[in-house]
Structure 1
Amino acid sequence: MSRFNGKVALVTGASGGVGRAIAYGLAAEGAAVGVVGRDTGALRETVSMVERAGGRALPIEADIGVGSDVEHAVAELVTSYGRLDLLAHAAGVFRTGAVTDLPEEQWDLLFTTNVKSCFLLGRHAIPHMRAAGGGAIVNVSSVFAFAAGPGSAGYAASKAAVVALTKMMALDHIADGIRVNCVAPGSMRTPLLENAVAGHDDPEEALAGIGRLHPLGRLIDPTETASLVLYLLSDDARAVVGSCFTIDGGRLAKLGSAT
């Protein structure tokens, strides 16, 4: 099955984790992919993975919180491949702290990387999608947008903003033939989470403990989230507009229960 033959996609956060899994999945199903990140070496690894599978990928180094970088990234992709049809925004940062503890610069970093980036990517990508006759965008939020734990004020707020912005973008651009949706994963085994537990005496046990918070009993694999993103980007989801899908191993269902 090749759902994306002839399509051109831009994927952020493609240095690893879910962004890399999305880029690989898109390329494996026929898309030419621009992989965006700040770690040039890791981007080249992503490109090598895609090329070994017979796909096409272009590494683009950019800071997605900077407007000129985003504009350049989109322009470089369109110059190389001639169009832009799909956008998967998987880049993000995680910082802990209640509002009384979180430094102001960390709050700003969370909102720049997690939220302003959605605005900038949409601002520069949507005109090219409109010119191509339509397209699809998927933003990666988090289950923390709906049920946060203590000490995650900035992260939870930023991810909730992603959900709200997704809905507004969807309504503003459905007439252009552009569908916008988002996914809200539970805890995934990604470099982001691994870095968060790096200071524990036993990081592997810390990761396993986080996994056990999900009724599924484990962390979400990035490829599982990528599969949902690919569905939302595909024509199989052509009637799905302005929605946010949780992929959390039952975590929200458990939080909503009486026991």
Structure 2
Amino acid sequence: MLNAPVCYILADVHLQPDHQDPINLAFIRFLTEWAVQADQIYILGDLFEAWVGDDLGTITYAEEIAAIKALVQQGTQVFIGHGNRDFLLKKTFYQASGAHPLEDITKANIQGTDFLLLHGDQLCSDDQAYQKMRRWFHHPLVQWLFLRLPKSKRKQIGEKLRVKSATYSQQKPIEIMDVANQAVESLMQSYPQIKHLVHGHTHRPAKHRLDGKLSNKTRWVLGDWRPEAQILKIEQGQPGLVSFK
């Protein structure tokens, strides 16, 4: 009897520049122990702690990218989307890894069940300052100009933004940085046939049942990888959160 198809959905790995970092080692182990037995893997953003251009990132994370490529070559489909830390993933990265890019909001049919997949920062609409910054960073012209800066300058800016983001998160009330119910409801109303929304970003893994007329819909929140990953496993069309230590 053949094994049932398995799909894993994860986010917020935050791979570090140090290949021996516990997070990096755990991710490689996930690829070789769990992912290798799966038909599909979806990574919903922030795979990398920072990404300031394919020319730098493909060198810094060469070992991890090679491991993803090896997984693809053995037959597992890998899909990777943008997060708020690695929104500059471009064509060279996808060619090097063999992964398929995801749209900002992706509708995916997995084992006969439709899922709506996204990083999740789009739903934090109460944090208006962040949303303004996000729109600015995602502007094609801004990205075009940034990627033409010298490598050393991009590294410097990337590190400053990373530190600033950490400070910003400590100063903001957690309620503001979490997803807004109104944003979730508005999104799900736009996709009435889809019952499962999956996202990361907030690092608050949980299963949420929506209210009112949307009570037949579920929001799955993925965890980060510190100290252990909370990922979504889909088997025979049935999703559930599982831990990878």
TM-score interval (norm. to shorter) = 0.3 to 0.5
Per residue, is there more strand in 1 or in 2? Answer: 2
The structure, 1 or 2, with the larger RCO (C-alpha pairs under 8 Å, 6+ apart) is 2
When normalised by structure 1's length, the TM-score is: 0.37
